[in-house]
Amino acid sequence: MKYNITPMSAFAFCLVLLFPSLFLSACSDDAEKYVPDGPVNLSVTRDGAPVSAIDFGTYGGDVLLTLESNDYWDISLSGDGDTGWLKLSNRSGEPTVWNDAEKPSEPRYISLSASPLGSDPSRSCVVTFRAGNEAKTVTVTQTQPAEADASGWESAYIACRNMKVGLNLYNTLDAVGDWFDQEDVFAFETCWGQPVTTQAWFDAVAAAGFRAVRIPVTWHPHMDANWVIKEPWINRVEEVVGYALNSGLYCILNVHHDTGADGWLCADLENIESISEKFGSLWHQIATRFNSYGEKLVFEGYNEMLDAKNSWVEPVEGGYEAVNLLAQKFVDTVRATGGNNEHRNLIVNTYGGGNSRTRFDNLRIPEDCIAGHLMVECHNYTPSKFSNLNGEIDDDNLPVWTKEFEASLGAELDIMIDFATRNNIPVIIGECSAYEKIADEEKAKYGEFLTSYSKGKADVCCFYWSGLIDRTTGEKIYPLLVDAFVRGAN
């Protein structure tokens, strides 16, 4: 038989002779396409739990998902409008689960990164994960927080943004002692060296640029055997709260040295029922007395609550659980009093007020009958070599603010910011300070770094602990620090 070979066919024939592997490979890929051993499996989880929705809030950030599949997989984005605000670390890959001893099974971690929302309207998109005939979807949103609830009451986000920076009325209504007339409320108020509180001081705080005051109050010396708060004491507390509100300041009212080494309010799981009963009685009285006050009054459930052994590092077993139970008791008790307290913004603290990852990871945000009215508080005295938390500063060799100090403090603030963004909840730094003898210009560097660090990353406001505004004259005690502390938040 005679073949008529054209130049083109001759060229193709030569290719087959010279490079047979090219053609065999292509045929082999089609013939030996990967098929999983059994049905296709696909799972997408976050922190070990299945995930179907993520809200990045207004600040964006990163979320890490774990993908596992026994088949090749891919990821796609869909939504109304541009989806470029959400970035994925991977779009496709090979199986993570193999039935082959030479190919170990390892999960694939997929990072989702959302850019800040800024003032743009809320947005969303759908992330679809596919493997074979299996598909999982995750709805990703960025939502502007509601400015108010249905009743018009200010949300916790907006309250936090409005407060920005504040001062503590320290060592005053929280002071305790036994060397004076226990029925004299002003003796209590001044027993730790502070003068009687006046309206003028709150006016000076507001004039200096602060937006809020935290009023620590110790209640147990002023309660009778039936846990009833004595009238002269709650009258005085109400008067001081009024000073703050009269100045246009936000006011945080708390339960202070009832916690701690000398207090009765502790994270003791063995005695939780009796502690919870007394705690509920106390907050029922406070919430009832202050029910008529508006949204600028915020309640803080407890201060630095410790376990029965006063453990500052890590609590004994059950300590974290006890804090979470009492936090829930606080929220439930206040809400049950109705009226304005159905909407009031409430604050719960981590164990001991600590801001480590362990403290945040073990805090369970209380369930609430109304959304958007809870905040979380921690305290921060880092770096201790600048705050003198452990009494380690040498007065003859006072420190200056350094990049090392910035790195140390920034690392802790990052933990707090991560918690705030992952849980879509504002965070209060209820206490912070620098050692008073350090030069004012060095304290100012610390203050501005602290209050500016979280801007654009999370909703955070800071309250300085010790005296910045003279209690008698109303003058700035450390003008550079005051100005920097306020400037950093604005």
3 state SS of 5: coil
Contact 466, 478 (CB under 8 A): no
Q: From CA 360, how far away is CA 349, in angstroms rounded?
A: 9
Q: How many CB atoms lie within 10 A of CB 406?
A: 16
Q: Which amino acid is at 325?
A: L
What secondary structure, in 3-state letters, does 291-328 show?
A: CCCCCCEEEECCCCCCCCCCCCCCCCCCHHHHHHHHHH
Q: Which residues form the catalytic set?
A: 304, 431
Q: From CA 114, how far away is CA 140, in angstroms rounded?
A: 9
Question: Among 37, 46, 38, 100, which Cα is nearest to 68's?
Answer: 46
Q: What is the DSSP string of 78-128?
A: E-SS--TTEEES-SEE--SS-S-TTS----EEEEEEE---TTSPPEEEEEE
Q: How many CB atoms lie within 10 A of CB 340?
A: 17
Q: From CA 71, how far away is CA 68, in angstroms rounded?
A: 9
Q: Is the dihedral of CA 311, 317, 323, 326 positive or negative?
A: negative
Q: From CA 298, how far away is CA 314, in angstroms rounded?
A: 29
Structure tokens at 358: 């362990």
Structure tokens at 331: 């929220």
Peptide bond into 216 cis (omega under 30): no
Q: From CA 287, how far away is CA 290, in angstroms rounded?
A: 5
